[in-house]
Amino acid sequence: MPEHEDSSELADQFNAFFRQKIDVIRETFDNSKPNFENELHALWVECLLLDFVTLEKRLGSNPNKSTPQDIIPTSVLKYIVKTFPAMFTDAINCVLCSSVFPDELKDGMVMPLYKKVTSTS
């Protein structure tokens, strides 16, 4: 063990030693790593960007039913899309491009659709 007067001093020495080691390791990784992440992200985003027609079609195929968990009811979303199509489409594409989705909107409730029972007799 390194020479030390108290355990706090020893802890500080260990901290400084390992911080320096980690900084050196980070510098090595940062300089040697190819930047595929940005290229893959750009390709992924290009595939995901929505146009207004696609967005309206996807949203329009959903029923107007909403759950108490929904922050924005489906009927309001449909109204917004029809009233402000470019702004809403841009907002959705910004979420897709940034890969950041608000935590408040990540929860959902699955509503099962029951099949109608028909008699074949």
Q: Cα angle at 28 between 22 and 32, to 5 degrees?
A: 150
What pLDDT, on a 0 to 100 scale, did the predictor assign at position 6? 82
- DSSP secondary structure letters along 47-113: HH---HHHHHHHHHTS-S---TT-SS-HHHHHHHHHHSHHHHHHHHHHHHHHT---GGGS-------
3-state secondary structure of 1: coil
Residue 48's contacts (CB-CB under 8 Å, 6 or more residues apart) are 96
Residues 51/89, Cβ–Cβ less than 8 Å: yes
What's the length of the chain?
A: 121
What pLDDT, on a 0 to 100 scale, did the predictor assign at position 37? 59
Alpha-carbon gap, residue 60 to 109, rounded angstroms: 19
Q: What are phi and psi of 49, to 5 degrees?
A: -60, 135
Whole-model pTM: value is: 0.45
pLDDT in 10s for each residue of the chain, 121 residues: 667 678 888 888 888 888 888 888 877 765 655 555 566 566 666 667 788 888 888 877 777 777 777 778 888 888 888 888 888 888 888 877 777 777 877 777 777 777 777 766 5
What pLDDT, on a 0 to 100 scale, did the predictor assign at position 114? 79
